Amino acid sequence: MIRLIVGLGNPGSQYEKTRHNAGFLFLDRLVSACSGDWSNEAKFQGLVANCIFGAHKVILLKPQTFMNRSGMSVGSLVRYYKINTEEILVVHDELDLGAGVCKLKKAGGHAGHNGLRDIIASLSEKDFYRLRVGIGRPASGKNVADFVLSNLSKQESASMEESFGLAEAQISAIVSGDMSLAMNSLNKKVA
């Protein structure tokens, strides 16, 4: 069962529609779907919302510490609510998947993603679930940091919204702990 869904991104309007904010964008969609509201929780250094999916209440968190320090926010909320690592889903952008692809997995390394790296360091564990939102890779010779911090194109945004719809359709299964059902649905799509 999932008790906490974390969306990774950077605060501020200049980052709002960037590839690196895929996690924030997905959580905004979930909060809208459950008619929730974000509240600024200083003790967690993040925006927090409560939603019910199926019969399960879930905390949603958008860290406001900037991507590279996401673990500060996640760690403080996890310790406060005594949430186990296996009860966490982190939604993040993924260079190794094409735009429009979402895949669910459990555990693993950070693969160079600084937000994941900081969360793993803060929790001293990596056995949380991840919803990887594909953003593709920059063209050869282009800077990765510039790519992830640039705005989505209209086509990429449309592809991402489509993948968000597929992921949202599985959110009740994910939250209730039926990961096999959700993985079978989401992971069958090829990049």
What ranges in the chain are assigned the alpha helix state H? 22-33, 70-81, 114-123, 144-148, 154-169, 171-176, 179-186
Can you give the three-state secondary structure of 142-159, one letter per residue?
A: CCHHHHHCCECCHHHHHH
Question: Is 20 a catalytic site residue?
Answer: yes
Give the number of other Cβ atoms within 10 Å of residue 8's Cβ: 29
b/e sequence 10-34, b meaning 16+ C-beta within 10 Å? bbeeebeebbbbbbbbbbbbbbeeb
Catalytic residue among 20, 92, 110, 113: 20
- Give residue for tokens 């997995």: 105
Nearest to 19 by CA among 155, 180, 110: 155
What sign results for the dihedral spanned by CA atoms 57, 73, 36, 40?
Answer: positive
Give the number of other Cβ atoms within 10 Å of residue 170's Cβ: 20
Q: Determine the residue type at 107.
A: A
Nearest to 116 by CA among 143, 93, 148: 93
Please list the active-site residues.
20
